[in-house]
Structure 1
Amino acid sequence: MSASHLELDLVERPFTDRGTRLLVTAGPGPADGLRVARAEYETPLAETTDLTGLLVHGADGRPLPVVSATPVEVAFAGGVSLLFADPATLVITGHGARASWRLPDGTGRTLALDGCHVLAGPPGEWSAPAVRAASEARWADWFARMPAVRPDLAERARMAWWTLAVNLLPIAGREGLVPSKYGYVGVWNWDALFHAVALRHGDPALARDQILLFLDHQLPDGRLPDVVHEHGVLADTTDLPRADHARLAQHVGTANGARPERAPVPVTKPPLAAWAVWKVHETDPDVPFLAAVYPRLVRAHAWWFAASDPDGDGLPEYLHPYSSGLDDSPVWDYGPRAEPPDLNSYLVLEADRLADIAGALGRPAEAARWRERAAAHARLLVARRWDGTRFTTLAAGAPVPVRTALDLMPLFTGRLPAGVAAALERTLRSPAYWGERPVPTVAFDDPAFDPEAMWRGPVWLNVNYLLAEGLQRSGFPDTAAELRERTVAMVRDAGGLYEYWNPLTGARAPRATSGFGWSAALFLDLARMVG
């Protein structure tokens, strides 16, 4: 697949490359030129700008417009181009033209173009034909690895596969896939697992590296950190950026007297590492890899029961909103600790995947014990949280009235009694959740529903992906197929790979970032599966 078949708009899709922190984006209007900025952890591009107002002028002094922008180059009229010579170096090439721009302090610069010049990066000599040929070859190789999808999904799939490449950066000694170069410049635990799901089709070794980034930084107690970034790891609330403390205090700081900014609390992400490991193994079997990670996965699983079950009822809970991955969900309006049904559903499935891994390693007795644990934990979840109508969410020991898509996640286990599973499938297909663009993260008819507020109503691809897998596992293949189909259609028609979508309109929610890694990854995997 040619890289020239993907056009970059230089707004949602900047000109950038695998391994580079440099991004080229357009100004508000044609006369504003282009901006070059650097992607940094938790920092807006406005604070990392290298230059602004980049314009190219022809021999007659008139500005030359950008005629195309692809992963390979930004091409101006008159034969002028921007190219990445290497991850640290952006060059501008051309003859008989002049480039002008402003530095962050407002100082103007001009450059008469006569060959290949470094625009951003260390000084050096570069050959424009060689740089272009290397870029074309690099992108041709990447797109050749893209999973096959049906024709109507191909354009969005190319965008998704490109997104996964450009979000790759050197992180902690490995190549890590960041969620977005627009601020999310670190590797988040949950995101890494979803990224691995797609990368396994084109580069299984790279998929395994996303998982290893967190297993490399496993804490002594077995917990996996929340984030690995260029400055270290985020593993408890003492590591949070200051702005996050203020936001959390505002959001949950007064609920039930909670003061989350006062005492350190462990921060991680939902347990799906064994699930991701097994998906990669199914695509590209690697028993030595399983043997290396299995003990660490066992320790990570044990942490939830040893350290994240403060009431000792056998059903772990999230000790902090960030550990859920759903930090803006209305379940946190009732306190900074909560136990929605998704967590224990994941733990059931993780036990089953650990059984698969133990079996592949030739340990049948261990595999049998894991199967027993999975079955027992599923029974406990049903016995203590199924009220005959729904799975309840607890906060501060009391049921939370808000109805969320997490209520349906026990389907993910594939171990529910038939009547309970059927009731959840009926609920999913009811008007509360089943619209043209399911699944809202809060029920359409719940008072807390907000179609544009992060986890308070918008559609997230990871929720849909996990529910579709759960429906398949629980004996509802037709509903699973329809959910996949409606999900890929929403993404196809919306114009981009966003963090989340308005379930009423199918459009990008205003505060959702673009070029989002797990949306790209899970769209690709869903697109593979639809007929």
Structure 2
Amino acid sequence: MRPFPRSLLVAVVVAILGSGGGVARAEPVEHRADTTTSYVDVLDLHGAPRAPADRSFNIFFDAGAWHGYSLPVAGDTATGFSGPFVHSLDNGRWVGARFAQLALRNAISKQPIALSPAGSHAFPGYLVRQFSGPELTVRQTLFFADSWHALVRIELTATTSQEVDLSVAGRVMSPQGAKLVEDGDAVTQTFVNSNSKLSTRLHAEGISAYRVTLSAGDYRIALNRPLQLKPNQTATVFVEQTLVYDARAETPPPVDYATAWARNRARWAGYLGSVAPSHIPGLPDATARRVSVKAMLTLLGNWRAARGDLHHDGVIPSYSNPDFNGFWAWDSWKHAAALARFAPDLARDQMRAMFDYQAADGMVPDCLYLDKAGNNWRDSKPPLAVWAVLEIYRATNDKAFLAEMYDKLVRYHRWWFAARDHDHNGVAEYGSTDGTKVAAKWESGMDNGVRFDAIAMLKNGDGAWSMDQESVDLNAYLYKEKSDLAQLAAILGKTQDRARWLKEATTMKAVIQASMFDKTRDYFFDRKLGSGTPVQVYGSEGWAPLWAGVASPAQARSVIRVMLDPRKFATVMPFATLAADDPRFSPIKGYWRGPVWLDQAYFGVEALRRYGNDRQADDMARRLVLHAKGLTQQASMYENYDPLTGQGYQSPNFSWSAASYLLLLQ
């Protein structure tokens, strides 16, 4: 992320570090108010894994880390946290059951000091557990210093002078699959068939030696001398856990314990500063802001740093689903557009991560993984990359980024017409590189959409195949790309390019309006190659021309009547991917055959706004927020929703739903 202004960092250091954030020294007890406390427990982050692959609860990740943690389940009286969950092992598994479990003993009497729980909560950017003992309080704060290092800041405040022996313990989740070794003052955990390494150490200022004890799947690290506690002062020690993905190639930077917490708070203050504009008429602003914060937490919880064959940071679709442990193109474009509003550096890297693998012919692959051998080159994904880059520019005014991306975007745009226009008429089709229908459907992003039930595949050339069907959403996106490339060209002073893009956009608009709008049914449809027969399925693709601005005003009025029909799309939770009166409508298990997907719903709201229907757009936007079950409470943001009930389905903690809600609210 970009460096924070020195004035902001100093302010946070004074407010936080100066009131309890130092290391192993006496400090005042008082903790000044943290701006993030307005958003306590936006998501329920309590849970304990019952098996290494358990993903039945929410996990806290931040700063691009590939390891995460949770608060223990309610009623768990022991100190410490659940974890870690290592996302880069076997598509994600728990390697620890407990981290930073604290043990205190009176250094003189050698009697254990009993601690009683006094609250466990999740705040934006950190987890907190509080405990009380005889004339003593303890606060454990887990946060990330960066993508390698998780820290637990342990603050001990006594009302009387005390000398205490302090140690921390951890428990491995599956000892048979891991090896624990003493590594100087640290404990190192390694894994079968992996070059990854997890190191745990204790840090207290002024103490240079520690005692390490290993026993089967347990470890303990103790201070080698008593900690001196003074009346009404706070002493602070840290537990550090560092994940190295490839110990042969990575050397993480050392942690600056003195400033790590303040830098975390400065970073999160920057994120939360963007929440204020969140607003939908008729929705309380406090609700809008809380949902925006949940969207941020979801996106940042799925942020993963460059590791292995991923050369830039990005956002995965959902850590809750083991199939989503990589970066997808269509998802990335949406993530970047939303991230631009509060984490622009990450937004830029999200785009770079996908274009790192752009092929010589301009194609961008469907998805990327830590091991590039798994990358999917069978298809690409719908072309929203230019839109995303333009959204980043609008948020940042970063002309250099436009210059960096322009030629890459042009090559990707041209690839669609070179590889996916079977009859060379300037209107493209979804397709695949291997000629399979399934990969062609993946390329649409709407994997099992009803409109693709009767497709056939046509060969265009070596490694290039098209469906026998021109898709209206694809060509609406390509029209918008031409219009947006004209804007990029103008900003970069490429006047000839701008004129060419505008001319191409005008030509394409005329074709879409004339051939893809069905006047008898008042809607945009895909059409079959050769015959031009419309594929008469009322789906969310039909309002893509309105979102892109390619529909005529009269066509838009007709489509909007369909969109606002409660029998079709204006359902309890509006703008499903298939009309509710279609006999194939399947809102629960249909995937792309009836549920509400938030990206398409967001495009629907923006389609209404583009053609002057602000009141209806506000109404639909409110429904999307208020009728999604649990959204304004603690429920995760789901992959898709039932348009009739608002119940969430498929993957929780889904990034493009979060991105869509953020765009909708801001």
Give the TM interval when normalised to the shorter protein. 0.7 to 0.9
Look up the match of 2:36.
Answer: 3
CA apart distance, 1:272 = 1.4
User: Aligned to 1:87, which of 147, 157, 167?
Assistant: 147
Q: Aligned to 2:173, which of 95, 103, 106? A: 103
* Deviation digits for residues 329-358 of structure 1 (CA, Å, limit 9, x no counterpart): 233433473543110111111111111122
Residue from 207, 226, 230 that aligns with 2:366: 226
Give the match for residue 77 of structure 1: 131
Q: Which residue identity lines up with residue 273 of structure 2 in the other structure? A: A
More helix by share: 1
User: In the alignment, does 2:328 pair up with 1:197?
Assistant: no
Equivalent residue number for residue 269 of structure 2: 140
The aligned residue for residue 36 of structure 1 is 84
Q: Deviations over 1:117-148 (max 9, x none)?
A: 44564799989876544543443343234453
Shift in Å at residue 54 of structure 1?
A: 6.1
**Are 1:213 and 2:353 counterparts?**
yes
Within 1, Cα distance between the matches of 2:332 and 2:424? 30
Distance 1:55 1:61, change over 3 A: farther
Letter of the 2:66 counterpart: R
Q: Distance in 2 between matches of 1:506 and 1:113?
A: 51
Residues 281-360 of structure 1 mapped to structure 2, 5 A cutoff = 281-319=393-431, 320-335=440-455, 337=467, 338-360=469-491
> Greater share of strand residues, 1 or 2?
2
CA distance in 2 between counterparts of 1:418 and 1:456 reads: 28
- Number of equivalenced pairs: 495
User: Which is further off, 324-333 or 442-451?
Assistant: 324-333
Deviations 1:167-197 (A, max 9, x none): 3222333222222233423222122221222
Q: Corresponding residue for 2:203?
A: none
Which residue matches 1:17?
62
Pairing 1:67–2:120 present: yes
Matches of 1:207 and 1:277, distance apart in 2? 9
State how far apart, in whole Å, the 2-side matches of 1:404 and 1:380 are: 20
CA contact (8 A) 1:18 1:167 kept: no
Distance of aligned partners of 1:477 and 1:29 in 2 relative to their CA distance in 1, 3 Å threshold:
closer
Gaps of at least 5 residues in structure 2 are: 1-33, 48-56, 104-111, 133-137, 155-164, 177-215, 224-236, 245-251, 279-284, 432-439, 457-466
For the aligned residues, what is the CA RMSD?
3.4
Alignment equivalent of 2:570, drawn from 434, 446, 452 = 434
Of 603, 617, 634, the residue aligned with 1:480 is 617
Does the C-alpha gap of structure 1 residues 127 and 75 become closer, same or farther in structure 2, counting only changes over 3 Å?
farther
The answer for the alignment partner of 1:497 in structure 2 is 637
CA contact (8 A) 1:153 1:527 kept: yes
Q: Please tell me whether residue 405 in structure 1 is matched to residue 514 in structure 2.
A: no
The alignment-based identity, stated in percent, is 29
Flag structure 1 segments of 5+ consecutive residues without an equivalent: 241-264
Deviation readout 1:374-414 (Å, 9 max, x if unpaired): 12212212333323213223478775454311122221232
Moved more, 108-117 or 54-63: 54-63
Counterpart of 1:274, as a letter, is V
Q: CA deviation at 1:85?
A: 4.8
Could you say which residue in structure 1 is the equivalent of 2:384?
A: 272
Structure 1 residues 396, 101: closer, same or farther in 2, change over 3 A? farther
Counterpart CA distance in 2 for 1:284 and 1:112 is 46
Q: Which has the higher contact order (CA 8 A, sep 6+)?
A: 1
* Corresponding letter in the other structure for 1:14: I
1:179/1:188 contact within 8 Å kept: yes
Indicate the residue corresponding to 1:448 in structure 2. Answer: 584
Q: 412-421 or 27-36, which moves further after superposition? A: 27-36
Moved more, 413-422 or 119-128: 119-128
Q: Name the CA distance, whole Å, in 1 between partners of 2:403 and 2:276.
A: 28
Q: CA-to-partner distance for each residue in 1:98-124, whole Å, 9 max, x for gaps?
A: 645343136541537665444564799
The amino acid across from 2:420 in the alignment is: S
> Is 2:366–2:378's contact at 8 Å kept on the other side of the alignment?
no
Q: For 1:464 and 1:229, locate their aligned partners in 2 and report how far apart those are by CA, in whole Å.
A: 28
TM-score normalised to structure 2 length:
0.66
Contact 1:287 1:361 in 2 (8 A): yes
Q: What's 1:387 paired with?
A: 518
Q: In structure 2, what is the Cα distance between the partners aligned to 1:272 and 1:500?
A: 20
Please say if residues 287 and 632 of structure 2, whose CA atoms lie closer than 8 Å, have aligned partners that are also in contact: no
- Tell me, in whole angstroms, the C-alpha distance in 2 between the residues paired with 1:117 and 1:452: 44
Residue 346 to residue 419, structure 1, CA distance change in 2 (3 Å)? same
Amino acid at match of 1:88: W
Partner SS, residue 305 of structure 2: strand
Counterpart of 1:418 (choices 553, 559, 563) is: 553
CA 1:209 to 1:92, structure 2 compared with 1: closer, same or farther past 3 Å?
A: closer
**How far apart are the structure 1 equivalents of 2:261 and 2:120?**
17
User: Which has the higher Rg, Structure 1 or Structure 2?
Assistant: 2
| SS of corresponding position for 1:334 | coil
Is the Cα contact below 8 Å between 1:334 and 1:395 reproduced in 2?
no
Instruction: Identify which range, 171-180 or 489-498, moves more after superposition.
Output: 489-498
